[in-house]
Structure 1
């Protein structure tokens, strides 16, 4: 039994028409002896340059060159409207199940091309015209002959496209769990492949940070060490919170359209308390309203641009409970239920099922993640003057936090990197194929909330992050209309 017919899902805000299908035999790469051929459920693409001559990255298949000779060409006219799926009757394998299709799409008189089954990462469609008005990104899911296309974004400043009035709770925001843990460390401690700076440049806008006061008896000390549980985040010495904050502010100065939500929690051994931490952060860090947003409510994007929005997972010292006319200080995310598949608490609605004690539980974790995506996707973002009254707007709902992270210190197969290797592709596939697929007039914005990830950016793989940002398209279209 061969592969199923071609399916195209348009997750962009513009209609697309498939115009030309060309068929090629798969170009192979000779693999070196002993190469470990790692297969994945989601077969990705590599971004091509305009010449089509791309250095091979995948272990099995080479990309097509621009001068590759097709063995068949078919002119078609298949329309795929925004946020719809077209299940065609097009056979994807005439000579072989591994044949490559070169698909040419058209929007507003301009054409764009994409090849299937080449290498391993998402691919921007190649414009076949000068001065293209749009950019698109595609992900190919091989086992289902499924092509998902979404609008490309400048990952360095993707928030620029969204309206100032948009509450942060309405956005689909990529995040990272234990964000600065990219250093050499115990494998159960390290959660990230690349630095926070690199994460910011590639679209991440939520950081999960854990700190330990270094001099809890000294009220004048600003020393906070970055930790993960009881462990330091690096085997080569203490890494300070101050350096991380400086790096974030530098990025925001260079990209004033952006914001970063920072979740801050106290961990590590010692005599320190939450109250001490809150005092240190208030006195030495989050004391400039031009650089930090600390009001205890979900801000609009316009209010948050250029700032760190502080989300506290710690209790407040008594004086801070009187901040902001007695409403307290910072977004409240203190004490949500442990190991929860879903908990509404303070300013957040959280999925944080983290005790994946056996590898068999990874599927259970994936299920909880996907259920939370659907909760977030059903929401309609209250944008004043667009989806709610401009004079008396509906207040924003909670921030939907979806932690993809989980681990078991004692089991190698359940360390963060091992779990992410299974979970990230599965989640990407779900978002491309199944998220918000119900038809009807009662759809939400199709967002996914804040998605908190492990090990993104490894070997240049930002597919999941790009896909999350792409989920803002329906809201962006609503705002621009």
Structure 2
């Protein structure tokens, strides 16, 4: 992650309604939230005149113009980020030393005036208490509209990330996890359902395809290396062969050639887990596409064929019908089953079945359990107008709050699966990337500003262990933007306080 300047979904007015255009703005005061396990002290606040950092010019838009080429239609929509700011000189025009302590997972409303928009940069210097002067420094707003890694001073060894919401004058600080091995810090006895798990929707759909089909900017290999631990996979099954191919609804995921479940997906996951044995990956498998194969046939092929979960590959998978503890599944894949079973597979595991059962999946649901009770899902996806996106954002926040309310007391809550994705094939303003461009920043803001705060969520619930559950995203990693994934992973630090 590198400080993101989000347009806050919960804005704080920065200007007095009585002010005329010749009066200076009334600036909000800075709020600081420490979302790491390390106490920090704010030692100094310096103010500098700002210069803008030019951003990349221009952006490509998909249009309904009759002269649009098919190449233009299939390209992703790109947007230039807003330019960041840098200090114009090395000399601050103002400095004071607040010596404010910000303990782990606490929020402090300060009396520090926020930066004058577009004209000023504030440099904050934090220090680890009793560390011999180890310090961390960040400028807000920063040179990037995304997150910033704090500069380490005086031999400081830890890494911290800042996300700044300027319209809320809100700064969130979190540990910069090693995203390829972030589970390394979590103890073995915790059920995977109490973790905060980033996921992707239609995970392998990063290839050249219709814009309503493509949901991801990068491939599964890069997703895993960047912290994603839940993959949503849709598979076509035919009645007359055992080749399982990757699809999105009835469409192939690539217009440049068929992609296969074994060679183009499982291979990447196996390689990742072989190299990162502290990690686990949850894979949700669902039968879709034009093939005439049934769920019974699909399950039997997966179970028996050594190209999939059969033979030697069986050792790589956790297929018991329960939610495991992390220690049981490090280096392995957890099967989340979104298909029915034939009678023989129902007798697996002492008659309990095969895999975590999510076969009775509620369609287009706002918040509902699956039939087994092991999974609870928000998967409202039928967006008919761009204005409906706000309803989607509200539903996502509500399930985040409900997941965060749970407490681990020796049992296991269900897997909360929270889809941020939605689309409408017939409305270009509701294609996956356009929805993600609104939903993803709103979720970053919520996770930084409201998640884990008692009674500050949409339903006013009390805070429990603050797990986000499984948050299933579209279009993460676009132009190197992994802020949402980093924010989800960051909430696992709360579990370290219980160790």
Considering the TM-score relative to the shorter chain, is it more than 0.5? yes
Alignment of 1:178-327 (within 5 A): 178-214=202-238, 216-218=239-241, 221=242, 223-243=243-263, 244-284=265-305, 285-287=308-310, 288-327=313-352
Q: Contact 1:404/1:451 (CA < 8 Å) preserved in 2?
A: yes
1:375 aligned onto 2:402: yes
Superposed CA RMSD = 2.0
The residue matched to 1:432 in structure 2 has which SS? helix
Q: Distance in 2 between matches of 1:30 and 1:271?
A: 54
Distance 1:414 1:294, change over 3 A: same
Q: Contact 1:138/1:147 (CA < 8 Å) preserved in 2?
A: yes
Q: TM-score, normalised by structure 1?
A: 0.88
Q: Contact 1:169/1:381 (CA < 8 Å) preserved in 2?
A: no
Q: Contact 1:9/1:148 (CA < 8 Å) preserved in 2?
A: yes
Q: TM-score, normalised by structure 2?
A: 0.85
Alignment of 1:407-446 (within 5 A): 407-438=423-454, 443-446=463-466
1:72 is aligned to 94
1:24 is aligned to 48
1:81 is aligned to 103
Distance 1:217 1:37, change over 3 A: closer
Shifted more, 323-332 versus 15-24: the winner is 15-24
1:137 positional shift: 1.0
The residue matched to 1:397 in structure 2 has which SS? coil
Q: Distance in 2 between matches of 1:30 and 1:157?
A: 34
1:354 is aligned to 381
2:31 is aligned to 7
Q: Distance in 1 between matches of 2:112 and 2:280?
A: 44
Q: Distance in 2 between matches of 1:370 and 1:29?
A: 33
2:393 is aligned to 366
1:312 positional shift: 0.5
Runs of at least 4 residues off by over 3 Å: 29-32, 34-38, 62-65, 439-443
Q: Contact 2:115/2:140 (CA < 8 Å) preserved in 1?
A: no
Q: Distance in 1 between matches of 2:364 and 2:119?
A: 42
1:75 positional shift: 1.2
1:326 positional shift: 0.4
2:494 is aligned to 474
1:89 positional shift: 1.1
1:385 is aligned to none
In structure 2, runs of 5+ residues without a counterpart are: 1-14, 16-25, 62-79
Shifted more, 271-280 versus 68-77: the winner is 68-77
1:69 positional shift: 2.5
In structure 1, runs of 5+ residues without a counterpart are: 39-56, 383-387, 389-393
Q: Contact 1:3/1:97 (CA < 8 Å) preserved in 2?
A: no
Q: Contact 2:214/2:253 (CA < 8 Å) preserved in 1?
A: yes
What count of residue pairs does the alignment treat as equivalent? 442
Distance 1:442 1:366, change over 3 A: closer
Q: Contact 1:286/1:294 (CA < 8 Å) preserved in 2?
A: no
Distance 1:357 1:314, change over 3 A: same
Q: Distance in 2 between matches of 1:439 and 1:189?
A: 38
1:113 aligned onto 2:140: no
Q: Contact 2:84/2:145 (CA < 8 Å) preserved in 1?
A: no
Q: Contact 2:180/2:276 (CA < 8 Å) preserved in 1?
A: yes
1:128 aligned onto 2:153: yes
Deviation string 1:240-294 (CA, Å, 9 cap, x unpaired) is 1112101100000000000100000000013111111100110122234420000
Q: Distance in 2 between matches of 1:24 and 1:135?
A: 24
Q: Distance in 2 between matches of 1:413 and 1:297?
A: 40
1:71 positional shift: 1.5
Q: Contact 2:86/2:121 (CA < 8 Å) preserved in 1?
A: no
Deviation string 1:42-74 (CA, Å, 9 cap, x unpaired) is xxxxxxxxxxxxxxx954234448x73321111
The residue matched to 1:328 in structure 2 has which SS? coil
1:337 is aligned to 362
The residue matched to 1:127 in structure 2 has which SS? strand
1:3 positional shift: 3.3
Q: Distance in 1 between matches of 2:395 and 2:81?
A: 31
Distance 1:412 1:322, change over 3 A: same
